[in-house]
């Protein structure tokens, strides 16, 4: 009988627990404010206590988890102040990335990004959640041409933090609207070499998610008061 393979390295176990827990939080399996009990997580993910603790620490850095002394870890609550702050910061960084990338957004580059967008739209219509990765590619194929590793790195951090907002917003309204797909508007403005219009469309794209989150929470507060 073949001998069993070696146990996964500690780093691999931490990374596995981190990825699984992060995805569960983003997808809403652990709603905002819900406790993250170590014993339950070790059973759910099939790892020991140490990888769970390290995974929670990494998620604290991303501000997806809060740890309160003597109370343990909880999924970070959704704060409208946070939504406003993080999206205003994203607008500042992402429009700057667009400006820096502008000289390198050739017709050929935009055609390639447009093909990615078309695949994204098709998967949205099929309700295929793999569209989220294509959505990311549409944006980062622009930002990475800024030739600023630090700027792209900061955008990636905020992108990860806002993933659950984006997914919640997608459940509230069509991700791409037939009449005004903002991703298409951005690309058309780039093709027309109209940087102001491209920046405005990008701002509108980011602000839409924030508006949807605000509307949803205002409705919840109204229902609770009624």
Helix (H, G, I), strand (E, B) or coil at 70: coil
Of the candidates 73, 50, 53, the residue with the CA atom closest to the CA atom of residue 63: 73
Q: Which residue has the higher pLDDT, 157 or 138?
A: 138
Q: How confident is the model at residue 173 (pLDDT cuts 50, 70, 90)?
A: low
**Which residues are paired to 73 by β-bridges?**
36, 67
pLDDT at position 134: 93
What pLDDT was estimated at residue 7? 45
Q: CA distances (Å), 29 to each of 12, 90, 120, 128, 197, in order? A: 23, 26, 24, 18, 39
Better-scored residue on pLDDT, 222 or 175: 222
- Cβ atoms within 10 Å of 54's Cβ, excluding its own: 18
d(CA 18, CA 12): 10
- Comparing 129 with 159, which gets the higher pLDDT? 159
């Amino acid at each position: 009988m073949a001998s069993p393979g070696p146990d996964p390295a500690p780093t691999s176990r931490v990374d596995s627990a981190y990825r699984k827990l992060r995805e569960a939080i983003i997808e809403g399996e652990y709603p905002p404010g819900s406790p993250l009990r170590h014993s339950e997580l070790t059973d759910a993910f099939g790892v020991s206590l140490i990888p769970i603790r390290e995974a929670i620490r990494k998620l604290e850095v991303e501000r997806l988890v809060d740890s309160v002394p003597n109370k343990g870890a909880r999924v970070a609550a959704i704060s409208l102040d946070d939504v406003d702050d993080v999206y205003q910061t994203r607008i500042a960084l992402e429009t700057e990335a667009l400006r820096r990338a502008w000289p390198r957004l050739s017709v050929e580059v935009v055609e390639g990004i447009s093909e990615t967008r078309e695949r994204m739209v098709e998967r949205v219509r099929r309700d295929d959640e793999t569209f989220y990765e294509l959505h990311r590619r549409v944006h980062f194929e622009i930002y990475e041409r800024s030739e600023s590793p630090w700027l792209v790195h900061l955008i990636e951090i905020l992108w990860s933090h806002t993933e659950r907002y984006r997914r919640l917003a997608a459940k509230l309204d069509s991700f791409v609207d037939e009449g005004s797909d903002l991703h298409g508007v951005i690309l058309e403005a780039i093709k027309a070499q109209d940087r102001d219009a491209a920046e405005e469309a990008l701002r509108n794209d980011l602000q839409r998610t924030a508006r949807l989150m605000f509307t949803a929470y205002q409705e919840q507060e109204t229902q609770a008061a009624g």
